[in-house]
Amino acid sequence: MARDGDMLFSLITPSAGNRPKALQKTVDSVEQAARFAGLGTEQLEILIGFDGFKGKVPTSAYPVRCITLPPDRNGGNGIRSMLTNIAQGEKLIYLDDDNTLKPQALRLYLKHFDAELVVGRIDTQLALETPFLPRRGSESFIRPGNVDPLCMCVSRRLVMDRCGGWRYRERNDAAFMNILDWHINAHSETIVEDVVGVFDSGRSLDASALSPRQANLLDNLIEQRCKSEYLPDMISTRQLRAEPV
């Protein structure tokens, strides 16, 4: 059970340092959620690891600790591993620098604080064809492509004592493999329908720092919009040509 004065949450954020606006939005969302949950400044820490680049430190009323690390370039896994090792909060939340928390997220996690693993839904409409993850269905919801660390609030003791920290650093599917470890080893797990975060919410704030996936997605959206705007003209032109003189 959460107690007043304890360090309750550690937010773990890897960053390449080239998304200052998105990172500030991420931190702002944490502060908003912390205030909504009634957390004191001693009950939450925001840990940011810059991957080989000294990025701009975001501002917040809550403690922000930024560490510049040697270039790792492995999708943030090395940073997540290091920050997990130094985190002091009883619960860990993995929040990338272009994602945000929903205002009610930390309040929800406090409600289920006794569960070692809490799995919520995330809004993925800005990034994926499906509007939310995880998808519900007959299959296990813990499967590749169906969950993201943003969905999770996990006990630090579970991660460190039973799962050996953030592992699988060299694998492309490191995030899923760690989630699978948590799911298998958790003594208690709670699944909620509430939306706890927004995926890719800061993607357009730093245009020069789009990931390949984000750039391709925007290109496809622009192409579709251009086609939809051009199509009526094409139809009317064809109709005119088909009319008898």
Pull the structure tokens for residue 194: 């509430």
Mean pLDDT of the chain: 88
> Given this model, what pLDDT does residue 136 score?
82
Place of tokens 């896994």: 77
Residue 76 pLDDT grade (very low, low, confident, very high; cuts 50, 70, 90): very high
**206, 20 in Cβ contact below 8 A?**
yes
> Given this model, what pLDDT does residue 235 score?
40
d(CA 114, CA 123) in angstroms, rounded, equals 25
Domain 9-207 has CATH 3.90.550.10: yes
In the chain, what are the domain boundaries? 9-207, 211-245
**Pairing, β 152-155 against β 91-94:** antiparallel
Q: Three-state SS for 28?
A: helix
Question: Rounded to the nearest 5 degrees, what angle is found at the Cα of 29, between the Cα atoms of 100 and 97?
Answer: 45
**200, 126 in Cβ contact below 8 A?**
yes
Q: Look up the pTM and report it.
A: 0.85
pLDDT tens column, 162-208: 999 999 999 999 999 999 999 999 999 999 999 999 999 998 898 76
